[in-house]
Structure 1
Amino acid sequence: MSVAPEQLTLDLDGFEGPLDLLLSLARAQKVDLREISILHLVEQYLAYVDEARVLQLELAADYLVMAAWLAYLKSTLLLPRDPEVEPDPEDLALRLQLRLERLDAMRDAGARLMARDRTGRDVFTRGAPEGLHVTRKAFWSVEYYDLLAAYGRATARSRPVLHVVRDREVVTLEAALARLSALLGTAVDWQAIEGFLPEVRSAGLRRSALASSFLAALELARQGRAELQQEAPFAPLYLRRPTA
C-alpha cells in the first residue's frame, strides 16, 4: 500500500500503518486497543508535528484529533464506564467521522472555488457601449456696443467701491471758539450771532462758520462765559458777555 509523504505512519506493537487506518480499525473493533501503546503513539505524533509544523499545520491538527480519540477509546476499554452519564464511544466516534467528512467536503469546496476563473485576472467583462459622442460648439453673434456693455457690467460688479470726499474750506470749532471768546470781551449788549462771523467769500464757508460759531456759543454758555437769548424757534440768536 502506497503511503502519502505527508501522512502520519505509526509503528506500534501490534500495528503498523497510517493513523486514520488505525482509528478506522479501532472503531470497527478489528484491532485490539489494549495492545496499542498510547505512549509510543504520542511520541511518534510529536515527532511528526515537529517536522510538519511549518508545511501542513492543519493536517497535523487533524491527526491530533484522531490520536485523542484513540486515547479516549482505549480509556473506555480500560476504565469502567457509566452508561447513564457518559455517551457511547461508538456514537462519539461516528460523530467525529461525520465532522471529519464535513471538514474534507468544505476543504474540497474551497479548493474548487479558489480554482475557478477570477474576474479581472482570468476573465474580463465586456464594457458598456460608449454611444454617440456629441461635441457642441457655441457661436456668438454680438455687436461692438453689446460687448462693451457686458464688459462694463462685469467690471462694475467686481470693481471695489471708493468714496472720495472732496476737500473744502471750513471753519473749525477751535477757531470759532477762539473768535467768540475774543469778541465777547468787547461786546457790551446783546448782539446777533451773525455779527461774530468772519468775513468770508463763499456761501459754503459762511454756513460752516455759522455752524461752528453756534457750537462755540453753546460751549461758552455751558462754561458760564456767555449768555444766550432767542425769542422764538428759528428766531435770531443773540449773545452777550455775562453781566455778573
Structure 2
Amino acid sequence: MSYKVKLEAFEGPLDLLLHLINRLEIDIYDIPMAELTAQYIEHLHAMRVLQLDELSEYLVLAATLIEIKSKMLLPVHEGEEFDDEIDFEMEDDPRDELVARLIEYRKYKEAAISLKESADERSDHFTKSPEDLTEFGEVVPSGIEENLNVFDLIGAFQKMLDRNRLKAPMTANITKMEISIGEKMDAIMAILERGGGKCDFYALFDEGDTPALVVTFLSLLELMKRRDIIVVQQGNFDELTVAFRREDE
C-alpha cells in the first residue's frame, strides 16, 4: 500500500499534548504524568500503525515524558550528600520545564489563530471589482461546527485496535486480500446507504487484518476531506458516529 497522507492537524507533539490536556480536563499546572504519558503513548501506537511520517519528534517528547514520570517516582532525601564527581541539579518539580513549554506554545498557537482570523477578515477586502465566477458554481459555506479533530479519530482508532486484539482468535488462516482506498470509500458509502445515512464508527472495523483496518481509516479521512461524510460525537468520550454530510452543513 503506497497511499501516503500528510495531515495539517499534526502540528507537532506539543499540539498533541495540549489536545490531551484539554480532552482529559487536566490542570496544566498540576499534570498527572502517569495518565498523560499513557494517553500520549497510546496515540503514538496508533500513529505508528497508520505509518504516518515524521514521528521522530513525537518519540523524542515521549522519552521526555517518561523521564519526567521517572523523576517523580524517585524518593527525595533532604540533606543527602552526593559524590563530588556527580553533579545533580535538583529541581523543585520535574514538570516545570514541560509546563513552561506548553504555556509558551499555547500563547503562540493562540496568537497564530488571532493572526489568521485577522488575515481572513482582511481577505474580504479587495481593491478591484469582483469577477464573474458563476461558471465555477456556487460555493456553499459550511454552517456546521466540527467538534472532533484528527487526534480524536486516532484515539478512537487505537481503541478499536485494542478491542480487535482482545477478540482475536488464538489461531488464524493467513490470506492475502488487496483493496484500494477508492474501493473502500465506495464500500463505506454503501454501508451508510444501507444504514439510513449513518453508522457506528467501530462498526466499519468489524473485520480485517491491520492493513485492511488502516485502509478503512484512511478512506474515512479522505471522505471527510472531500466533505462527503462527517464524524460526530455527542459528548466527551461518547461513541463516534459516521454520517452523510447534508447539503446545508
What band does the TM-score fall into relative to the shorter chain?
A: under 0.3
Which protein, 1 or 2, shows the higher relative CO under an 8 Å CA cutoff with sep ≥ 6?
2
Q: Give TM-score scaled by structure 2 length.
A: 0.27
